């Protein structure tokens, strides 16, 4: 093969050792494609080999919980489905067919969507590395499933739950629920809270850590969800009282420590509280007084709903929840805004009518 030359001299590329003419022609086509597009096709590179290499590159970038999810789906779903294929031979139809079969077999749509999204992300990286000309999973990936309906309690139900915990148990879990419902913090942020990050006199705390469960087997302390999450949270008198109760418990069990150290909410042996144990406690205690069954993150939704229903400005709610943008708050809680919008335009009309009244009198 003669290649273009900038020197005017003939530049020839030769390859040999092919088993037959068909193999030689295939190699020539791949070589011409690489010269034309910059895409170097490697027939020996399978989807399985590439996905394993891609996973290794993501290990230092992703959070432990996110990486564990990626690895689980790559090992258990993507490699068994597409692994033997050469990377260059993966096509949209392969991904589409696999998705349909998974759904027909009863697999959840969110899970199938997550697998396709991971595959698409990996193929995007292959395109960036000039291993593929296009992403074969981009158009075949499923649309994001609609978010499930958000469940939350009314203010009366939330109050009844906190009262039940305080009167019946008055323990570390009761105060955890008080903090979550009183601040809207995420469960991992509360469980990862450290004493040096609480400032009682200023009535604020700083979110610096979050406790996560990796594959429901290993607890991992990591940075908060987003940069916006790593922020301060104002404390109400109720939440401050809950934190002071926990401080009193810690001092009674560790009288030799002059200053409170370590994590705020722990088991009696000082080890972190597993989020699954906290969820079990929530379900058990709410069932005891006949409350609707909800999850731990729904306590955060309950706090947000109460704030919005109490006519707290949406910008303040967004800041309190530490969302990255106001649009995030609107997207999540937009269903609560029509009544607030009606009240806003009614107030506007009332103000204009009031301003117009003196002119009518004159």
Using one digit for the tens of pLDDT, what is the confidence trace for 323-343? Answer: 989 888 888 887 666 666 677
To which residue do tokens 């080890």 refer?
Answer: 271
Domain(s) labelled CATH 1.10.443.10 in the chain stretch across 159-288
CATH number of 25-146: 1.10.150.130
Is it true that domain 159-288 has CATH number 1.20.1740.10? no
What is the predicted pLDDT for the residue at 131?
Answer: 85
pLDDT, one tens digit per residue, over 48-75 is 999 999 999 998 888 888 899 999 999 9
- Least confident range of 25-34, 69-78, 162-171, 267-276: 25-34
pLDDT of residue 199: 95
Domain ranges in the chain with CATH number 1.10.150.130:
25-146
Question: What's the CA angle centered on 315, arms 313 and 318, to 5 degrees?
Answer: 115
pLDDT tens across 201-256, in order? Answer: 999 999 999 998 887 778 888 888 788 888 999 999 999 999 999 999 988 887 77
pLDDT score at 337: 63
Categorize the per-residue pLDDT at 361 as very low, low, confident or very high, splitting at 50, 70 and 90: low
Higher pLDDT, 168 or 16: 168
pLDDT at 37: 62
89 exposed, middle or buried (CB, 10 Å; 0-12, 13-18, 19+)?
A: middle
Residue 223: the pLDDT is 85
């Amino acid at each position: 093969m003669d290649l273009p030359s900038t020197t005017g001299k003939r530049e020839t590329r030769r390859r040999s050792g092919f088993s037959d003419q068909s193999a030689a022609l295939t190699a020539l086509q791949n070589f011409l494609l690489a010269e034309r597009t910059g895409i170097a096709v490697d027939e020996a590179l399978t989807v399985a080999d590439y996905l394993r290499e891609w996973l290794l590159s993501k290990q230092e970038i992703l959070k432990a919980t996110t990486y564990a999810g990626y690895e689980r789906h790559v090992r258990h779903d993507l490699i068994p489905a597409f692994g033997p294929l050469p990377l260059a031979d993966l096509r949209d139809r392969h991904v589409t067919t696999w998705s349909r079969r998974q759904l027909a077999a009863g697999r959840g749509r969110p899970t199938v969507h997550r697998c396709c999204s991971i595959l698409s992300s990996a193929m995007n990286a292959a395109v960036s590395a000039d291993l593929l000309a296009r992403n074969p999973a981009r158009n075949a990936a499923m649309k994001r499933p609609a978010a499930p309906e958000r469940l939350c309690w009314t203010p009366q139900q939330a109050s009844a739950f906190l009262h039940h915990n305080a009167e019946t148990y008055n323990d570390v879990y009761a105060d955890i629920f008080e903090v979550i419902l009183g601040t809207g913090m995420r469960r991992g942020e509360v469980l990862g809270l450290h004493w040096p990050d609480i400032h009682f006199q200023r009535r604020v705390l700083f979110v610096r850590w979050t406790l996560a469960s990796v594959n429901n087997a290993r607890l991992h302390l990591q940075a908060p969800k987003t940069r916006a999450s790593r922020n301060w949270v104002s404390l109400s008198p109720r939440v401050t009282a809950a934190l002071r109760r926990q401080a009193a418990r810690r001092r009674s069990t560790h009288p030799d420590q002059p200053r409170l150290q370590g994590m705020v909410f722990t088991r009696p042996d000082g080890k972190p509280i597993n989020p699954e144990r906290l969820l079990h406690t929530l379900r058990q205690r709410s069932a005891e007084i006949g409350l609707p069954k909800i999850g731990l993150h729904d306590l955060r939704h309950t706090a947000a709903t109460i704030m919005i229903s109490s006519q707290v400005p949406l910008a303040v709610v967004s800041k309190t929840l530490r969302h990255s943008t106001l649009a995030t708050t609107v997207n999540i809680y937009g269903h609560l805004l029509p009544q607030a919008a009606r009240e806003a335009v009614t107030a506007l009309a009332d103000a204009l009518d009031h301003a117009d009244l003196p002119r009518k009198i004159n």
